Structure 1
Amino acid sequence: MAMQFYASPEQVQRDRSEYARKGIARGRSAVVLTYEGGILLVAENITTLRKISEIYDKIAFAAVGRYNEFEALRRGGVRMADMVGLSYDRRDVTARALANTYTQTLGAIFSETQKPYEVEICVAQVGATPEADELYRITYDGSVMDEPGFMAMGGQAEAIATVLRDRHDATAELTVALALASEALGSVGGENGQARQLTDKQLEVAVLDRRRPGRAFRRLTGAALTTLLGHESVSDADLGEVDAAPPAPSEGKPTESAASETAEGTEK
């Protein structure tokens, strides 16, 4: 008869935590910080898979870890936000409510399943004033923290957070905030501990711009990102666009279906 080995609940939780932390540490890092015009989200990313995305009008999502797991969380958050906004009011969709939902989901997965999610996520909401900005950090075990203006996630997050802590300024311009985020991400991972100079090809960047009406999320790519990394400002019109917008009406598109016309013609 096979012997059943016993592990205490405390040991099981420690093993799961260690497993999740090791998985997260293998990935590249991301930082989120406030600046004078809103919230800046920057991730080190050399792939076409996105770590930063829009959730709703004033809310963004950033994550590190296993892509398929945080992508499932992102999709669930988008569905929840759309349902609440449609059922009640768009103003009822808040980062705090989404963070609470993610906390419950990740907490249940960590406690009840054999394998925890190897993810760490941030839900950010830009307010009408800098004081109203919100940053929520949710870890693999469902713990949630309200971060004070900046945060770092992923491998060597503590070292990156130290750079941000010493120099973060919520009143800084976008170019200054982006330079700080790029420098913080490049401060780790170099050969023999040397700092790295990250380029626009290695970064995924987006902002929640408090000055924009409606959807505040803007993704920075191409010439605009290169210009900002060169410490030069860009106009609001060139700051970037949302990920997707409703398609423009097609010219000559029929307003009635052929089936309805046929049905009307056969009526007696």
Structure 2
Amino acid sequence: MADVAIRTDGLGIRFRRNRRARRSFKDLFSASRRKIRPGEFWALREVSIDVRPGEAIGVVGRNGQGKSTLLKLVAGVLIPDEGSVTVTGGVAPLIEITGGFVDDLTVRDNVYLTAGLHGMTRSQIDARFDGIIDFAEIGDFLETPYKHLSSGMKVRIAFAVISQLEEPIMLVDEVLAVGDKAFREKCYRRIEELLAGGRTLFFVSHNERDLRRFCTRGLYLDKGALVLDAGIDDVLDRYNADYGTR
């Protein structure tokens, strides 16, 4: 298992379409966990992959096909209904802009809170605080409540904190699309530095140029199923052939 950073085996998760479609107490403890019930759907089903340390994986597919759900399962944010996911080493997730941040706290307090939640000690945060703020370019807003920041500024803080973590696996969803072009390029250069240092990357994006820039391998998800696991060029060619996105 030492040569595998992420392994999923028959991974699946289901959701309810609406609140009325509740599972009964009996349903929750039913031996037939794989059976779909009224009002439920499988967001991801029977996905099996092995990811080696240092690989850069691009996850592609239309909206609502399970891409972000897969990242959240790898991050441990969601618990699967079937199969398993095993992660060797820690995870640095950049999945949702507001993940871990508190609206009423200042930027300064949020940096300490979020970095602490991801395992950094107070002394580590102290040592890296100036670097985080400089990278995010928000030094004039340290005492501003987080809720008053723009979406772009929130992305700056989130990426600046997450990129300082020393976890071997980095999960990046499409949140960087919110940032301005110059800062996005700055983030991408940082990702390239992390990849050069041996990090493993899971990257969800609709931008083909970015996918080809970072990733050597791709996963194509459609209707919650893994359609193709191959080189990134082959995966994008198949996706474009299916949906004419060129």
TM (normalized to structure 1)? Answer: 0.28
Using CA pairs below 8 Å that are at least 6 residues apart, which structure has the higher relative contact order? 2
- Who wins on radius of gyration, i.e. which is larger? 1
